[in-house]
Amino acid sequence: MTTAIRWGILGTGSIAKQFARGLAYTPDAVLQSVGSRTQDSADAFGEAFSVPTRHASYEALANDPEVDAIYVSTPHPFHKDNSILCLQAGKAVLCEKPFTINATEAKAVVEVARARGVFLMEAMWSRFFPAMQQVKKWLDEKAIGEVRLVNADFGFRAGINPEGRLFNPALGGGALLDVGIYATSFASFVLGPHPTRIESMANIGETGVDEQNAVILGYDNGAMALLSSAIRTSTPHEATIVGTEGTIHIPTPFWRAAKASLKAGDREEEVEFDAQGNGYNYEAAEVGRCLREGLLESPTMSLDETIALMNILDAVRAQWGLTYPME
């Protein structure tokens, strides 16, 4: 592998553009190729971000010999097939969250990666921000004692578009998969991905997807996570971790953390990090680090945890009776 990781981006939507901007701030990374379903779309993206190679199909991108890693940026229902396409071509894959529609799909993608010995990671970019890494250090040193409660929310008010990805069941719409994954992943980051009890409720809107939900995760040590997400209700976007000896607070937006504070007895600390890039550079840098070290997955966002998170989301949707057409 060359010193600089040569990236390809599969898809040309808004999040693909954000990732392209982030790559510009990623050390030892270059945006080499883009793949779209049409040449016009690939060319327009390529012109906007100075991408040398522009493919009119995902298959051509997957088989591009000048590409080391591919960022899959398509809507949720296409993650499984798009990721497998790239993995079978021997390309490392960073797949946008939620990783897939359900755990069965997630297991299928992971199985291909492991069978072929190719790197794979869910693009849970929140994990890799410096402020979130500081939170992890505080937790590891038990600065707030034993964690008892986690709170996290992510809600915004979107206009209803039945054909858009947020509200269309055929595109895996709903708050849980779109932004609830952030709160769920944060709970897993703190308490682990294997709660022993899951309780939830949701408001299912007129298009058949969850517009607002609340989830409680219970753990065998008595700890709990209180999580909420919404696509028709704006919420504070904050996260709090309460321990037996203190509290950690991540102000809005916790999923793109720039600050974090610790209060435990007489100890009070606050960290703030100057933004480098738009944040997508941190997850791209992690992929580069793993590839250079010969790792097949990231210890910060492991494949087993990704599957476990999808199991949680599946269990929550089952409580609501919410299934998608492709399931």
User: Given this model, what pLDDT does residue 239 score?
Assistant: 98
* Residues lower than pLDDT 50 in the chain: none
User: Given this model, what pLDDT does residue 257 score?
Assistant: 97
* Sheet hosting strand 53-55, strand order edge to edge: 53-55, 29-35, 5-10, 69-72, 92-96, 120-123
> What does the chain come to in residues?
327
User: Given this model, what pLDDT does residue 308 score?
Assistant: 98
User: Given this model, what pLDDT does residue 276 score?
Assistant: 84
User: Given this model, what pLDDT does residue 137 score?
Assistant: 98
| Beta strand ranges found along 112-246 (DSSP E) | 120-123, 147-155, 197-204, 210-218, 224-230, 239-243
Which amino acid would we find at residue 110?
Answer: V
User: Given this model, what pLDDT does residue 180 score?
Assistant: 98
**Cβ within 8 Å of residue 149, ≥6 positions away:** 223, 224, 225, 226, 240, 241, 242
User: Given this model, what pLDDT does residue 2 score?
Assistant: 57
Under 8 Å between Cβ of 176 and 76 = no
How distant is the alpha carbon of residue 230 from its chain centre? 17
Active site amino acids: 97
Strands 239-243 and 247-250: antiparallel
Structural domains in the chain?
Answer: 5-125+280-296 (3.40.50.720), 130-272+308-320 (3.30.360.10)
For 290, the enclosing helix (H) or strand (E) is helix 280-292
Under 8 Å between Cβ of 213 and 115 = no
For 31, the enclosing helix (H) or strand (E) is strand 29-35
Angle separating helix axes 14-23 and 39-49, nearest 10 degrees:
30
User: Given this model, what pLDDT does residue 1 score?
Assistant: 58
**Cβ within 8 Å of residue 108, ≥6 positions away:** 80, 84
Under 8 Å between Cβ of 79 and 86 = no
User: Given this model, what pLDDT does residue 70 score?
Assistant: 98
